[in-house]
């Protein structure tokens, strides 16, 4: 900061000596204008700059201003109708007018200076932090029983501006996340924005299921759209109006990328996605880029990532996905929280301590009907967390209504019928969420898998156990497999603990480099798009 101050003061004296007092008058105007301004951003910026103009000179705008304008023009996340885009257009016109006229005053040029600073601040806020209204969005998410934990980005508009002035250039590229395939998703968004500018994305004629052999005038346009999106490949017959295997295979690819039921023909949900506007897709990509900005920037050798809308787990080693599996996540009314933690322990043959909310809102209905319900489910009743066992038949369950406070604890004993299955993966957190096996394997066949009370059920828990055992020498997979044949509970502490991120990305580039979209199962997109 001391170096920057010396540099700025030196610059003022140098420029003033050559400009006949222009910069002295400019600084006076900036001081006067900023003091009158209601903009806290202007006050913060110019107090750090000692009120020296950095964008508007006597003869024209600075190269830093030109670079800023160029960067905004090239940023695909900026919608042509956004405030940033319209402000830039207005400022460029004003600059052209002022510097093509010999009668322009210092005051007018400094008013332009302040406009460019406001533009910079708005754009830098967008580029560095995104435009998700986290305060209101988190409040709405909590009101629906969810949670979304964020990690604040490492850069802010003012410190980035000062660093850029010291270096003589804006390096926005260096501020971008390296994780979660951010760069690949950004590249896809730019490709979609260029296609939008070409005008080739037009409204499709109406069409039906497009099963193989059917006719439709919409097929040539649909083939073109599927080819742009990467689903059609090098298949021929671009102008054919007859649905063929090319269309079937392209629809299968499209359905997989969008997390839809794979049919090879157009369903209601497939048609909704096919006819979605290009701007809507770009907006979704931009939103998810902004989400990634608020995820961890740390780099890990081993890393577990669960994407809720994709219902999928990836295990990364050295930044490569070495294992993937389907997962079941929380219902809409019991959403799985978005957060980060560390997997520390694997429990074989776990007990299931039934959450009080499940006992009081769901299980009580069965207990009122049948006091032997707990015995049938291999469950024990306790008088408290450390209390003694209680015979369920001695309790008058009819005194408790659904939602009533119940002064007992229920635990399900280890076994094949246990709700947690045979394996549990712990990453202790305040949400009491963990990964676990499940006896209801059939649910993994579903496309949308939001069925749990918030925890994450695994399609292949034994496979994940094997992966952890491969680099935790204190865990022997063969020995663990023998334990799993019994009902003996055993906890295995990991020597090499693994970070886990539970994320919510409705647009992402997967481990194969393919752009994917998913449905907004918790309506979080709508909460977070309000300010965009």
Q: Round to whole Å and give the CA distance between 363 and 332.
A: 20
Measured distance CA(56)–CA(107) in Å, rounded: 11
pLDDT at 8: 53
Q: Which residue has the higher pLDDT, 388 or 267?
A: 267
Q: What mean pLDDT is predicted for residues 439-457?
A: 95
pLDDT the model gives residue 85: 96
CATH superfamily placement of domain 204-274: PGBD-like superfamily/PGBD (1.10.101.10)
Residue 207's pLDDT is what?
A: 95
Q: Is 415 left (phi over 0), alpha (psi -120 to 50) or beta?
A: left
Is residue 409's pLDDT more than 80?
Answer: yes
Percent pLDDT > 90 in the chain is 84
330 with 452: CB under 8 angstroms? yes
Bridge partner residues of 314 (DSSP): 305, 324
Q: Judge whether residue 11 has pLDDT over 60.
A: no
Q: What are phi and psi of 446, to 5 degrees?
A: -70, 150
Q: What is the mean pLDDT of residues 35-53?
A: 93
* pLDDT value for 12: 45
List the single range of 47-51, 109-113, 124-128 with lowest mean pLDDT: 47-51
End-to-end CA distance of the chain: 34
Of the options 3.40.50.920, 2.40.440.10, 1.10.10.10, 2.102.10.10, the CATH number for the domain spanning 298-351+417-503: 2.40.440.10
pLDDT grade for 381, boundaries at 50, 70 and 90: very high
In whole angstroms, give the CA distance from residue 131 to residue 380.
50
Report the phi/psi class of residue 322: left, alpha or beta, with left for phi > 0 and alpha for psi in -120 to 50: alpha
Written as one string, the DSSP assignment of 373-415 is HHHHTTEEEESSSS--EE-GGGS-GGG--TT-----EEEEPSS
Residue with the bigger pLDDT between 236 and 38: it is 38
Mean pLDDT is lowest, of 127-131, 238-242, 264-268, 526-530, for: 526-530
| 370 pLDDT higher than 80 | yes
Q: Is the pLDDT of residue 417 over 90?
A: no
Predicted confidence band at 140 (pLDDT cuts at 50, 70, 90)? very high
Please state, in angstroms and rounded to a whole number, the distance separating the CA atoms of residues 89 and 84. Answer: 9
Contact between residue 385 and residue 408 where contact means Cβ atoms under 8 Å apart = no
Residue 524 pLDDT: 96
How many CB atoms sit inside 10 A of residue 391's CB?
A: 10
User: pLDDT for 186-225, tens place per residue?
Assistant: 999 999 999 999 999 999 999 999 999 999 999 999 999 9
Name residues whose C-beta falls within 8 Å of residue 198's C-beta, 6 or more positions apart in sequence. Answer: none
Task: Check residue 17 and give its pLDDT.
Answer: 39
Q: Which of 195-199, 342-346, 526-530 has the highest mean pLDDT?
A: 342-346
* pLDDT band for position 18 (cuts 50, 70, 90): very low
What's the order of all strands across the beta sheet hosting 379-382? 352-353, 409-412, 379-382, 389-390
- What stretches of 20-133 show up as alpha helix (H) in DSSP? 22-36, 40-49, 63-74, 83-99, 106-129
Residue 14 has pLDDT above 90, yes or no: no
Q: Inter-axis angle of helices 106-129 and 278-293, to 10 degrees? A: 80
Beta strand pairing status for 339-348 and 490-503?
Answer: antiparallel
Contacts of 12 (CB under 8 A, 6+ apart): 23, 24, 27, 50, 52
- List, for residues 69-104, the tens digit of each pLDDT value: 999 999 999 989 999 999 999 999 999 999 999 999
Q: What is the pLDDT of residue 20?
A: 52
Q: CA–CA separation, 168 vs 7, rounded Å?
A: 12
Structure tokens at 312: 């999928």
Q: Is the pLDDT of residue 412 over 60?
A: yes
- Cα separation, 426 vs 41, in Å, equals 44
Domains in the chain: boundaries: 2-129, 204-274, 298-351+417-503, 353-413
User: What pLDDT, on a 0 to 100 scale, did the predictor assign at position 529?
Assistant: 85
Q: What is the rounded average pLDDT of the residues 506-517?
A: 96
Whether residue 493 contacts residue 296, with contact meaning beta carbons closer than 8 Å, is answered with: no
Does residue 477 carry a pLDDT above 90?
Answer: yes
Stated pTM of the model = 0.92
Rounded to whole angstroms, how far apart are CA atoms 346 and 296? 24
d(C-alpha 448, C-alpha 491), whole Å:
32
Backbone angles phi, psi at 342, to 5 degrees: -135, 125
- Backbone φ and ψ of 480, nearest 5°: -65, -40
């Amino acid at each position: 900061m001391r170096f920057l101050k010396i540099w700025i003061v030196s610059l003022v004296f140098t420029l003033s000596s050559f400009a006949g007092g222009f910069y002295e008058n400019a600084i006076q105007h900036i001081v006067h204008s900023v003091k009158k301004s209601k903009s806290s951003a202007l006050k913060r910026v110019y107090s750090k700059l000692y009120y020296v103009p950095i964008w508007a000179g006597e003869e024209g705008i600075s190269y830093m201003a030109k670079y800023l304008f160029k960067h905004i023009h090239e940023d695909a996340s900026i919608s042509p109708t956004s405030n940033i885009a319209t402000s830039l257009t207005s400022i460029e016109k004003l600059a052209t007018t002022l510097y093509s006229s010999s009668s322009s005053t210092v005051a007018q040029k400094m008013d332009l200076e302040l406009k460019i600073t406001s533009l910079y601040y708005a754009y830098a806020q967008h580029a560095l932090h995104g435009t998700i209204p986290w305060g209101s969005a988190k409040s709405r998410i909590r009101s629906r029983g969810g949670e979304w934990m964020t990690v604040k980005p490492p850069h802010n508009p003012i410190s980035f501006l000062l660093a850029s002035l010291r270096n003589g250039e804006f390096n926005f590229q260096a501020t971008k996340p390296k994780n979660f395939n951010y760069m690949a998703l950004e590249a896809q968004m730019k490709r979609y924005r260029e296609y939008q500018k070409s005008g080739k994305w037009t409204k499709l004629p109406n069409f039906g299921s497009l099963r193989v052999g059917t006719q439709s005038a919409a097929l040539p346009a649909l083939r073109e759209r599927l080819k742009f999106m990467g689903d059609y490949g090098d298949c021929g017959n671009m102008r054919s109006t007859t649905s063929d295997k090319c269309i079937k295979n392209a629809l299968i690819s499209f359905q997989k990328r969008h997390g839809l039921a794979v049919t090879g023909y157009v369903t209601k949900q497939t048609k909704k996605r096919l006819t979605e506007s290009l701007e809507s897709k770009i907006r979704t990509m931009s939103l998810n880029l902004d989400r990634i900005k608020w995820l961890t920037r740390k780099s890990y050798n081993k890393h577990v990532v669960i994407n809720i809308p994709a219902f999928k787990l990836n295990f990364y080693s050295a930044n490569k996905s070495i294992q993937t599996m389907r997962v079941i996540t929380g219902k809409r009314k019991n959403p799985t929280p978005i957060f980060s933690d560390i997997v520390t322990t694997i429990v074989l043959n776990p007990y299931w301590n039934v959450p009080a909310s499940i006992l009081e809102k769901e299980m009580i209905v069965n207990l009122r009907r049948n006091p032997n319900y707990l015995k049938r489910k291999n469950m024990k009743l306790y008088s408290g967390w450390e209390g003694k066992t209680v015979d369920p038949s001695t309790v008058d369950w009819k005194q408790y209504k659904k939602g009533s406070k119940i002064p007992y604890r229920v635990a399900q004993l280890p076994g094949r019928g246990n709700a947690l299955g045979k394996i549990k993966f712990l990453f202790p957190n305040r949400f009491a969420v963990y990964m676990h096996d499940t006896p209801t394997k059939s649910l993994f066949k579903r496309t949308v898998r939001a069925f749990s009370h918030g925890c994450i059920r695994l399609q292949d828990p034994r496979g994940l156990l094997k992966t952890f055992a491969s680099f935790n020498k204190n865990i022997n997979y063969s020995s663990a497999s023998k334990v799993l044949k019994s009902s003996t509970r055993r906890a295995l502490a990991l020597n090499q603990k693994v970070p886990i991120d539970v994320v919510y990305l409705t647009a992402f580039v997967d481990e194969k480099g393919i752009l994917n979209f998913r449905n907004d199962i918790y309506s979080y997109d709508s909460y977070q798009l309000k300010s965009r």
